[in-house]
Structure 1
């Protein structure tokens, strides 16, 4: 005995140009029928929140699934799975497609090579899927855009919910962020953590979907932009504060990655105000307020 609810959508070519579209959503529980063997032309994320079952890969290997878990069904890859007939399971699924899936795969958010992924807490993914289900009401004029946006949210939530992922991120990423403004090479960063450069690259690629160099660069340039926009520090001083002893090299790097020179960025974004700015992340319900003669936050 099982219960199921599902909706399917047909986004227009215009909606596909947004990069990511939702093709369907479903909520099911009980002793559901076996799925497959079959092959799809799009992605499906199947989130299992209770029960257990199995997944059979194209080479015939059988993997036991114990909730909470995620099944990745990817285009062109045969799949075959189902719940244990004695226990059944609770699942929700989202079908989606679009060119953005290629980038999400490159960043490690979608893992074709790991069709079964253990989850630590399915709350975040379930919230995103519930958002899609609520948007699926008949006659919703924002359906395609609203559900497509929620797929982005789902992919982030699934990435955060992987078993072994700390709520505040990977410890190595935290350490790199802490030391990002020091003039250290990737090898020196690795040595600080008792790792080889190759081990550090693997860890960062796995956790952030990029190289250590790019991860550090993103943090450094973000901080440089803050200093350029909110202070009157010379560009050379900004460069030194974010870890670059050579201002000319910093300017070339900034220009290549941002698309404009630091001075040009300041001309466009500069908004320095008396009282300074806060480094504290604001509470959306209690935004920072400039108080006369005192810094914000």
Structure 2
């Protein structure tokens, strides 16, 4: 026996321009029927949170699926899979499409060449699928936007849950982030980790979806923006703080990547904050609050 529930949607052209649209969601468990062989026109993420089964690739390669796991069903690629005979499996699936799919694929969040992805934990992804299912109630006026936004969140949750990534984050990426503002080349960063530049490129591409140069640059520019917005340091001093000895080069790089020169960014974003800015991330469970002024005393 098995149980299944699913809903399908038809977002309009304006919703597609948001980048991603959710076309369907489903929750199923038990000894589910075998799927395929078939070919789809859209992407589907199938999250298996309990049980196990198998996946058969177009070349005949059979892969055992053991929960927690993700099945990527890619448009135009035949697929054939099924839950195991001993109790089946528990799955949630999301059908999606949109122009942002190409970018998520480029960044490594979607892996068309890796149809079966072991996960360390399916809890986060299943939570997002549950929210999509709740948003799918009849008559929800926010349906398309709410579910489309959740697809972005789902891709992040699945990326974070990949079993081949350390739960606490990649130590190489952590070290690069720590040392990003040191005046070091990519080759020097690689040597510090006992890696060749090519090995570092592979590690960063796998972990962050970009090159080491872009990863370091993003951190440097983020720090430069904070210094420009929160301090009165000259631009040359800001450049040195984030690893650039040549302030003219820094200004050209900042302008090209940010879209405006550092002095204009400062003019727009500078804030005088009594007591200074904090570099501590607020605790979501205990956010900073502005104390309300005392209520005026009532007249007798």
Aligned to 2:102: 102
Query: Structure 1 residues 220 and 36 mapped into 2: Cα distance closer, same or farther (>3 Å)?
Result: same
Matches within 5 A, 1:217-296: 217-288=217-288
- Residues 139-195 of structure 1, C-alpha deviation per residue, up to 9 Å, x if partnerless? 000000000000000000000000032233211100000110101111110111111
SS of the equivalent of 2:54 reads strand
State the 1:16 CA deviation: 1.0
Question: 1:275·1:290 contact (CA, 8 Å) conserved in 2?
Answer: no
Partners of 1:91 and 1:286 in 2: how far apart?
A: 34
Q: TM-score, normalised by structure 2?
A: 0.95
- Residue 113 (structure 1) aligned with residue 103 (structure 2): no
Instruction: Give the structure 2 partner of residue 207 of structure 1.
Output: 207
Corresponding position of 1:295:
none
Displacement of 1:58 after TM fit?
1.0
CA distance in 1, matches of 2:165, 2:2: 32
Q: In the TM superposition, what are the counterparts of 1:29-48 in structure 2 within 5 Å?
A: 29-48=29-48
Identify unmatched segments of 5+ residues in structure 1: 292-297
Query: Secondary structure of 2:191's partner?
Result: helix
- Relative to structure 1, the CA distance from residue 181 to residue 169 in structure 2 (aligned partners, 3 Å threshold; closer, same or farther) is same
Counterpart mapping for 1:1-297 below 5 A: 1-288=1-288
Query: SS at the partner of 2:24?
Result: strand
CA distance in 1, matches of 2:261, 2:43: 40
SS for the counterpart of 1:3 is strand
What SS does the aligned partner of 1:155 have? Answer: helix
Separation (CA, whole Å) in 1 of partners of 2:151 and 2:203: 26
Q: 1:289, 1:265 → 2: CA distance?
A: 28
Tell me the TM-score normalised to structure 1 length. 0.96
Deviations 1:178-225 (A, max 9, x none): 110101111110111111110000000000000000000000000000
Give how far 1:290 is off: 8.5
Cα distance in 2 between the residues matched to 1:271 and 1:167: 36
Measured at CA, do residues 3 and 190 of structure 1 come closer, stay the same or move farther in structure 2, by a change above 3 Å? same
Unaligned runs of 5+ in 2: 292-300
Task: Say which SS state the counterpart of residue 182 (structure 2) adopts.
Answer: coil
**Alpha-carbon distance between aligned partners in 2 of 1:48 and 1:290, rounded to the nearest angstrom:** 44
2: CA distance, partners of 1:49 / 1:193: 36
Q: Distance in 2 between matches of 1:152 and 1:13?
A: 18
SS in 2 for 1:276: coil
Check 1:184–1:95 CA distance in 2 against 1; reply closer, same or farther (3 A cut). Answer: same
* Cα distance in 2, alignment partners of residues 269 and 277 from structure 1: 13
Deviations 1:94-148 (A, max 9, x none): 0000000000000000000100000001111011101100000000000000000
Q: Displacement, 1:230?
A: 0.7
Separation of aligned partners in 2, 1:244 and 1:201: 22
